[in-house]
Chain A
Amino acid sequence: MADVVGAFGVPHTPVFPFFVERDGPECETAKLFARMRGEIEALRPDLIVMFDTDHLNTFFFDNLPILAIGTADMFQGPNDEVRGVPMRDLKSMGDVARHIHTHVVTAGFDVASLQKYTVDHSVVVPLHFMTPQFNVPVIPIFISGHLPPLPAARRAYAFGQAVRKAIESWPGKLRVVTMGSGSFSLEVWGPRIAPGRSDGVTDPAWVTRVCGLLEKGDIETLLNEATPEQMAKAGNVGGELLDWIAMLGTIDARPAKFITPQMQNGHAYAVWS
């Protein structure tokens, strides 16, 4: 059977590849991602299952699923002109993805399927740093975390648990790493951006609170406190926390091995292994 051998919470700020190229390996972001890369390489994964929220680049207002999974053997990204990261082919595992899809729909999660699609920075930027050879196949699973109505935190967690059961029922041997991609508090290009910037952390206290709960492994309190109102207060990408929450559903509740916030961006880097 396949096993979830580790879980990661990662940021996906689209200018980070450019910043790291400009500022070198000693800058904070380079060092944090280098640590994450070391952690994922030590786990020798065969597959990454990434929970992600698209920024109206894979989907649009014509068709906006709450939950979706990429079921092709190959997809492309980033489709939103990420500086320093050209669009490229990205390997997936269509057979495993279709198995997960079938399993979670049978378990009561009405998930859309994408057979021909591209992804934006939110999938590719973490890979750019953590698997820079792009040699580990990735199955993206999309959760609507930006545009209300958002799915409930408990629903996202239960969805993660269903994805775990699906992975564990795959008959082949696979070492699987799951990821949650996103921020805890950030407004991007909306009215609550900071003066002089294109973004702003609207609720730094929430970032500290989420990090504290993850450090302790107190998922129950996190699920109680991650209400739609709280996520909206945390900015127009505050619902990306749902990607982390789904990721947490793929492992037993326990304290993070480490979690390091980057307060100026409202996000964090974390590992469960």
Chain B
Amino acid sequence: MSIYNVNYLCRELLRDHAFRAAMKADPAAALKAYDLTDAERSALLAGEVGKLYELGANGFLLGYLCRFEVCGLNLDTYNSRIRAAAPGGH
């Protein structure tokens, strides 16, 4: 159930400005406090939002990774990666 943690930390990007700054500066360090699977952690650090979506992360919340431009994401990279994912009901 650690996809809950992926969703949670995405929303923390909106709410916790210190975490947002830490994610911009050094994402690997900022994510150390979070209990994530290896697949989730590596997908986050690579900005692989399509993979995260397929692991069960929520689209609105993944959008914060793009909105706040962390993990190398911008609208172009976000758009092409999320569009490659299979749509799901989450």
Contacts and interface: CB of A to CB of B under 8 A. Distances in A.
Interface residues on A, range: 20 to 34
Interface in A140-198: 146-148, 187-193, 195-198
A148 B59 contact: no
B47 interface: no
A81 interface: yes
A196 B11 contact: no
Interface stretch (A55-63, A205-213, A243-251): A55-63
B83 A195 contact: yes
B66 A192 contact: no
Interface in A57-106: 57, 60-62, 80-81
B79 A191 contact: no
Contacts of A80: 14
Contacts of B79: 193, 195-198
Contact of B82 (A57, A191, A232): A191
B82 A189 contact: yes
A247 to B, nearest CB: 23
A172 to B, nearest CB: 38
Interface majority SS (helix, strand, loop, mixed), chain B = helix
A189 B87 CA distance: 11
Contacts, number: 69
A191 B63 contact: no
B17 to A, nearest CB: 10
A179 B68 CA distance: 31
Most central of A60, A147, A189 by chain B CB within 10 Å: A189
Given A189-B82, A195-B79, A196-B75, A61 B62 contact: no
B60 A189 contact: yes
Contact of B59 (A57, A62, A190): A190
A259 B70 CA distance: 40
Interface in B52-72: 53, 58-63, 66
Contacts of B82: 189-191, 193
A189 B89 contact: no
B11 A56 contact: yes
A232 B61 contact: no
Contacts of B90: 147-148
A188 B75 contact: no
Interface in B32-90: 50, 53, 58-63, 66, 75-76, 78-79, 82-90
Contacts of A192: 83, 87
Given A198-B66, A232-B89, A60 B11 contact: yes
17 contacts: A60-B11, A62-B4, A80-B14, A148-B89, A187-B59, A188-B59, A188-B63, A189-B60, A190-B59, A190-B60, A191-B50, A191-B83, A191-B86, A191-B87, A191-B88, A195-B79, A196-B79
